Amino acid sequence: MKQGIATDFRYNMHRLHLRLASGMKWIATVPGDGLQDEPRIQAGVKQGIAANFIKRSIATFFLLLCSCLPLQGQDYPRQTFDFDLFVQELFAQQEDENVPYEDFYETLFQYFQRPIDLNRTTPEELASLYILSRPQIASFFRHIRENGPLLSIYELQAIPDFDLMTIYKLVYFVRVDDAGLNADQRPLWQRIVGEDNNALLLRYERTLQERRGYTSVDTTSRSTTRYLGSPDKVLMRYRVSHTRDYSLGFTAEKDAGEQFTWDPGTRRYGFDFYSAHLQLYNKGKFKTIALGDYQLQFGQGLLLSSGYTVGKGSETITTVSRPNVGIRPYSSVLEHAFYRGAAATYTLGRVDVTGFYSSKRVDANLQAQLDTVENFDDFFTGIQTTGFHRTPTELANRKRVQEQIVGGNATYQNRNRTLLAGITAMATTYSSPIQKAGLPYQRFEFGGTSNYNLGTHYAYTWQNVYLFGETALSKSGGLGTVNGLTANLSNKVELAMLYRYYARDFHTFYGNGFGEGTRNINEQGFYTGIKIKPFPKWELTAYYDRFRFPWLRYRVDAPSQGDEYMLRLYFRPNRQSSLYAQFRAESKGRNVADISTSIDYVGQANRKNYLLYYEFTPTPVVNLRSRVQFSSFELESPQTTGYFISQDINFNFNKIRLSTRYAIFDTDDYETRQYAFERDVLYAFSIPAFSGRGTRTYALLQFRPMRRLDVWVKYALTHYRDQRTIGSGLETIEGPRRSDIRVQTRYRF
């Protein structure tokens, strides 16, 4: 065995020597010192002095020789990476509370825990990191074809179109395995038992102040409704996984206000929500086999989108197109955005064929049909997606309707991975029909018990241009299409353009394509994004999106239009500090009440957001973050404003990590509410909204009392000024303070 390793090592060093001799741009770096600055790389290529090149080649050889011996696969040191900050920077302004940020955060964190092997990855897998542009991904695979598998993670510097700012982000999500390592041939159960990525997680959270929903019933009050359960929220999760081999896990959750009870009559068995999955990879010609709960993502998400998407944000290029990742395991706690059943992907040469079936019960308010002309007894107006079952009414609507989905996808990819094309067909049926209330804006909404969709998608890379798109039809005849391109105009300039059209009668229940609205219906628009890197430490990103809605919308009683643009300047003078400033403006139609005529008309709601962020790490132990943001809103009336200022002080000791924040906020109304990212316990993604006047403080402590046990404790306090109550309805708190506590433990087997 030692002789084989030595042979592989000599072979790899010989290949590396040939690569250096061919004049490729390459600078090896001693592990732990960080990657070198881009100008030095470019200078190494441009200098033609033979003596300098020979010295650099010899130095590189010995550096790699020394670093190869103690390290396996030449992984980049990953302990200093701030994952929370990386995810935070993917989003511009978080103003849609329905976006499943937690699902995105959790999926990306899985990549961080189990980095992608660059010698065994696919273009779609790399695209799902939202770090590399499609031309960069094409350049990466071109480098592999011409030079063979990577020998070290530091070889990324040798790939054309790769800049240092991009590499700094990428190295924490990828790795290069040793060429001599063989796949684990043990039985599945032995691999699961011996897996180090094997953990049980328990989470508890509660609001300390009593909310109205948990008080005793006041007979003098109009509302006598109260929550049925305790104010405790509990989550239990177990998951064990290994990249490109298997993923196994289950999740159980009880929301605050829900009962922890055993009642088969109401389909409640302890926790209110359960989820479980088993997913296997690369079993013969089966690329993926999924049982239990899973997600699907094909094409640009018009028909099948898993929720693992970002949309418009500060990353203006890589997030425009959607990765074609296929079947993904589901382990989140969103109680509607998944499939339950079985799915499999089978490989036939250059074609991957996927079939899937899902059957689960969804929440709905079933109502009796009073019209005797109709041939059905009951109906519902739409699926309820909150996942809450706290009151008698919410509990009565729990799992009232059976949903079944069946479909398939066939995707072709050519040998050099520059062309991808596929077709998708699916059918969705419900045990009771959907019947909208009949309001004018709902005229073209889906109605009935079944919907059918047929679509096709494509992606093509030509030199430094990536073309992509998807077009689909629904049973109603409505058309949906999205088409775009991303291009590397130069080493310093990237461009993205996208056009979408979603007819007013285009219906899809699990689609989440690029758009302004939360659903792919009644919208058309054109998006342009740009990223400029004028200097190695500077980055300028911007986008402009023009859209219109041909038919009426909720709170918009006429066809309307609008636009949105964003400008962000990022500067990183050194590895210890970074700074960015951001401006975003949006104009969109909304109803305005005319007091004189008592008739609403459509005006333009104008919103502007300003953000300034600075981070400084003077020592490895202390990290400082300052944030200032301001917003304004105007709709046919005097302008309202709001601001948020926060200071974070974070400490990172050997086995203890402490994150703290003190913030003040002041807004004129709810329209100028402020969203701000907060650090939270593992797998939780927190972006609370603040309106009114007050302060926000929190402290998050993470420590490891035992080698395999991690503990998180978070305490947050929001104090409002000039308010006697907080919240509304059953969530009302008497008093100006709200305190929340969250405790989480993770035991790794």
Phi/psi at 170 (nearest 5 deg)?
A: -70, -40
pLDDT recorded at residue 204: 98
Share of the chain above pLDDT 70, in %: 83
Q: Report the alpha-carbon distance of residue 503 to residue 478 in Å, rounded.
A: 6
Q: Report the alpha-carbon distance of residue 346 to residue 298 in Å, rounded.
A: 15
Kindly report the number of other CB atoms within 10 A of residue 69's CB atom: 8
Stretch (H or E) spanning 652: strand 640-652
Are 718 and 695 in contact, with CB atoms under 8 Å apart?
A: yes
How much is the mean pLDDT over the chain?
Answer: 84
For 469-521, the DSSP string reads EEEEEETT--EEEEEEEEEE-SSSEEEEEEEEEE-TT---SS---SSSSSSSS
CA distances to 576, 655, 697 from 621, rounded to whole Å, are 12, 11, 21
Are 676 and 644 in contact, with CB atoms under 8 Å apart?
A: yes
Interval 292-306: pLDDT, tens: 999 999 999 999 987
Residue 86 per-residue DSSP state: H
For 523-590, the DSSP string reads EEEEEEEEEE-SSTTEEEEEEEEEEEESS-BTTB-S-EEEEEEEEEEEEEEETTEEEEEEEEEEEEEE
Judged by DSSP in three states, 116 sits in: strand
Are 316 and 543 in contact, with CB atoms under 8 Å apart?
A: yes
Cβ neighbors of 599 (< 8 A, separation 6 or more) are none
Instruction: Compute the radius of gyration of the chain from its Cα atoms.
Output: 27
pLDDT recorded at residue 21: 43
Are 26 and 155 in contact, with CB atoms under 8 Å apart?
A: yes
Q: How many CA atoms lie within 13 A of 665 on its CB side?
A: 29
CA distances to 124, 246, 305, 328 from 338, rounded to whole Å, are 20, 19, 10, 10
CA distances to 15, 45, 67, 433 from 30, rounded to whole Å, are 20, 20, 7, 65
Are 469 and 481 in contact, with CB atoms under 8 Å apart?
A: yes
Domain boundaries of the chain, sorted by first residue: 2-175
* Number of residues in the chain: 749
Are 458 and 420 in contact, with CB atoms under 8 Å apart?
A: yes
Interval 489-524: pLDDT, tens: 988 999 999 999 999 999 999 998 999 988 999 999
Report, as ranges of residue numbers, the positions in the chain whose pLDDT lies below 50.
1-11, 13-14, 16-18, 20-79, 92-98, 180
